[in-house]
Amino acid sequence: MKRFAFLAFSAFVLSAQGAATNPVWAVDCPDPTFWRAPDGSWRCTSTRLDILRSQDFFHWEKTGRRIFSDEEYQRIRRDWRSVWAPDAFRLGDEYLMFVSLVNNLRDSAVAVYSSKSPDGPFTDGRVLTRSRDTGIFDTIDPEAVRDDRTGELWLFFGSVGKVHRVRLAPDARSLAPGAVYEHMAGVHRDRDANPSRSKVFEGTYLHRRGGWWYLFASRGWYSDHTYAVVVGRAPTLDGPFLDRDGRRMKDGFATAVVSSGKDDLFFGPGHNGEIATIDGRDYLPFHCHVRGKSPKARPLFVQELFWDADGWPYVRDGRVQKEAQ
């Protein structure tokens, strides 16, 4: 009954506001992540750290809140130059927010914060892993996921130091005892062998569907048209994740999901967030540049995601569309 009521309300909102078109949020919204409130409404935050709200996933509004209080943000900035790419995760009655803390490529970390409210603020921050301790360059872009087979919690992260995973403790406030870092996708940055970063993956997101784990990632330069969402899959979270041609993601191979051309109006789609299933249809959110706008701005886009007969995800024409639904 609650689900029906929410869907009916969503239909009312959609009817009142009209069909959604991209960008669904025209303001800068890089590296988006999404979660649900108890009333079924959606929340979104990004590298901007502000919290947006939506009843239907397509029409967004400001909440006036940020994931951190001003005091907490100032504490973070005393030790770190930047905060990037948050990832929301629900654990029991708590909302967790994993974030990238960055000084430079060799000194970056993933930390976790918590809140009892979907609207924050998120507090009690704890660093989980740090690049200057592990030697893994660019310890950024966290993604927390629970293995439905074992119940274990895992943290996926990484960029030019390769995408790794490491097991979390059951409360996700530390690494599991004896946790081992495992290379799962992407190759190490090599300016000579890989100048386009076409085999460097970042912004990972894990999705379970039809007996497969899908590892979505982004490759290329985030600032231009080479940036694109790609995917590989494996039957378990242990991998290996393979592209459509059976090549390993850890060797730098992946299948394109949504990309752009050099002269496209919408270019550089990437760092997708959680897939939303609405009325039986799947939708992929991501950030994307708009030609003619600020070169640093990456508004929020939503596009319907389809699955072919072999279970591989794709979007219409493989390109960013004006229609969000």
What's the pLDDT tens digit per position in 51-77? Answer: 999 999 999 999 999 999 999 999 999
The full DSSP string for 268-324 is EEE-----EEETTEEEEEEEEEETTS-TT---EEEEEEEE-TTS-EE-GGGB--SB-
pLDDT of 10 above 70: no
Question: What mean pLDDT value characterizes the chain?
Answer: 93
Q: Is 147 exposed, middle or buried (0-12, 13-18, 19+ CB in 10 A)?
A: middle
pLDDT tens digits for range 87-102:
999 999 999 999 999 9
Question: Judging by DSSP bridges, how do beta strands 163-168 and 153-157 pair with one another?
Answer: antiparallel
**Which CATH number fits the domain that encloses residue 152?**
2.115.10.20
Paired strand residues for 301? 286
**Residue 258 token pair:** 């949504």
In a domain, 55, yes or no: yes
In-domain check, residue 323: no
pLDDT at 9: 38
Q: Provide the 10 A C-beta neighbour count for residue 18.
A: 9
User: Given pLDDT bands bounded at 50, 70 and 90, which one contains residue 11?
Assistant: very low
In a domain, 324, yes or no: no
Q: What is the distance of C-alpha 24 from the center of its chain?
A: 17
Q: Establish if 234 belongs to a structural domain.
A: yes
Question: So what's the pLDDT on residue 196?
Answer: 78
**Residues listed for the chain:** 325
Q: Assess if residue 33 is contained within a domain.
A: yes
> 193 falls in which pLDDT band (50, 70, 90)?
low
Count CA atoms closer than 13 A to 324's CA, side-chain side.
Answer: 23
Would you say residue 2 has pLDDT above 60?
no
Q: Are 11 and 57 in contact (CB under 8 A)?
A: no
For residues 301 and 23, is the Cβ–Cβ distance under 8 A? yes
In the chain, the percentage of residues whose pLDDT exceeds 70 is 93
Q: Which DSSP helix (H) or strand (E) runs through 16?
A: helix 2-17
Contacts of 257 (CB under 8 A, 6+ apart): 216, 228, 229, 230, 231, 284, 305, 313, 314, 315, 318
Full residue range of the structural domain in which residue 56 is found: 2-318
The pLDDT tens digits of the residues spanning 300-311 come to 999 999 999 999
Residue 287's pLDDT is: 98
Residue 71: left if φ>0, alpha if ψ -120 to 50, beta else—which one? Answer: alpha
Residue with tokens 């024409």: 317
Distance CA 87, CA 173 (A): 14
Q: Alpha-carbon distance 246 to 254, whole Å?
A: 9
pTM as predicted: 0.93
pLDDT in tens, 266-275: 999 999 999 9
How far apart (Å, rounded) are the C-alpha atoms in residues 93 and 68? 19
Nearest to 142 by CA among 217, 231, 232, 203: 203
Q: How many domains does the chain have?
A: 1
Tokens of 137: 């360059």
* Res 4: pLDDT: 34
User: Looking at per-residue confidence, does 8 or 142 come out higher?
Assistant: 142
Residue 24, both tokens: 């669904």
